[in-house]
Homo-oligomer: A and B are copies of this chain.
Amino acid sequence: MRLLRADEIPDLALGTSVLGGGGGGDPYLGQLLAQAIIRETGPVQLWDVEEVPAEALVVASAYMGAPIVMAEKLPQHDRAVGAVRSLERHLGQPIAALISAEIGGFNGLTPLVTAAQLGLPLVDADYMGRAFPDINMTLADVYGIAATPMVMVDDRGNQVILETVDNLWTETLSRSVAVDMGGVAMIALYPALGERMRQAAVPGSISRAMQIGQALRQARAGSSNPVHAVCETAGGMELFRGKMVDVHRQLRTGYAQGEAILEGTGTYLGQRMALYFQNEYLLAAVDRRVVATVPDTIVVLDARTGSPVLAEASFYGLDVVVLGLPCADAWRTPAGLALVGPRAFGYDVDYYPLTAPRHLHKPNL
């Protein structure tokens, strides 16, 4: 156990933005919210997964909806707290700790704020190791943990409790409700006992995000290269450097979907990268040769500042570096790839782990 202080939140927010892989929503608003609240409540206990008692009830707290809507309308976080309390009442069992459903983006911070307001500890872990658009796309799902009972609330005070036969039904039903609720809902879900949570969760996610954020901040303040600092701390590999020359983007059924085209610079001169996204960057191909796919995380950084570039905020002329971060091992199982491999998102290519030599065995697009 350690304490997470208000002054550490900017590093955490920066790190969750990197791990969001272009999606998950801009955590900056979450940062402001978390700082304001934790300055008031005092530091939040951060528990290692091993410290969570086997019989303790752990619940994920998150926002659900299109990041683009969330950025336009800061939700009332008290409602997210209310969702957790409602779930507790519905389950009839006290909640012992909160966890992130996804470490990437806004939701990397959400449960921290909820934990501060409830006076509960936060588990240093998450169920994705990155960000994904659908709420069933978690390692909790891979390990057979039900997303329901799940509570959804909106800003007005409407509340919906779901109990479904599987997590895909949870996604289907809750997505419609979130759209009706105005595009954003505050949710409490994936109630699990400590021992089940430990099986499924990616351990150390919060710490990892903080380390990445810290490395980036220190590189910017000193003289080292911010992009190198991120790449090294996150254990990533460079995939491309170039300039954004074309971005097609549309908001379809609540997702920012599209593709960005990059023209290579430096050693990549003369090459073109296509980056396909559905909230997150999901597929990167250089001259039609696939170089990285979901579930590995594709990170786009501003070449000069190292700032993560969200897919929803990418624009013409930006000089960027594209990194690949290997995903959690459990995502590389058949069950993991069936859920979040490239084919699950409609791309007709196989998954090849990022760690394989890039010039070998890569499928063409």
Q: CB within 8 Å of B: which residues of A?
A: 90, 156-165, 169, 172-173, 176-177, 179-181
Contact = CB atoms under 8 A, between A and B. Distances in A.
Q: Interface residues of A: mostly helix, strand, loop or mixed?
A: mixed
A156 B169 contact: yes
A31 B14 CA distance: 63
Given A158-B173, A160-B173, A177-B177, 17 more contacts: A90-B90, A156-B165, A158-B162, A158-B165, A158-B169, A159-B162, A159-B163, A160-B161, A160-B163, A161-B161, A161-B162, A173-B177, A173-B180, A173-B181, A176-B176, A176-B177, A176-B179
B158 A163 contact: yes
A172 B178 CA distance: 11
Contacts of A169: 156, 158
Q: Can you list the 4 inter-chain pairs with the closest CB atoms, starting with the nearest?
A: A176-B176, A161-B161, A159-B163, A158-B164
A179 B163 CA distance: 17
Contacts of A165: 156-158
A136 to B, nearest CB: 13
Contacts of A163: 158-161
22 contacts: A156-B165, A156-B169, A158-B162, A158-B163, A158-B164, A158-B165, A158-B169, A158-B173, A159-B162, A159-B164, A160-B162, A160-B163, A161-B161, A161-B162, A161-B163, A172-B180, A173-B177, A173-B180, A176-B176, A176-B177, A176-B180, A177-B177
Q: So how many copies of this chain end up in the complex?
A: 2
A160 B90 CA distance: 12
A160 B160 contact: yes
A201 B228 CA distance: 71
Contacts of A90: 90
A328 to B, nearest CB: 29
Nearest to A153: B163
Nearest to A172: B180
A161 B165 CA distance: 15
A181 B165 CA distance: 12
A283 to B, nearest CB: 28
A225 to B, nearest CB: 49
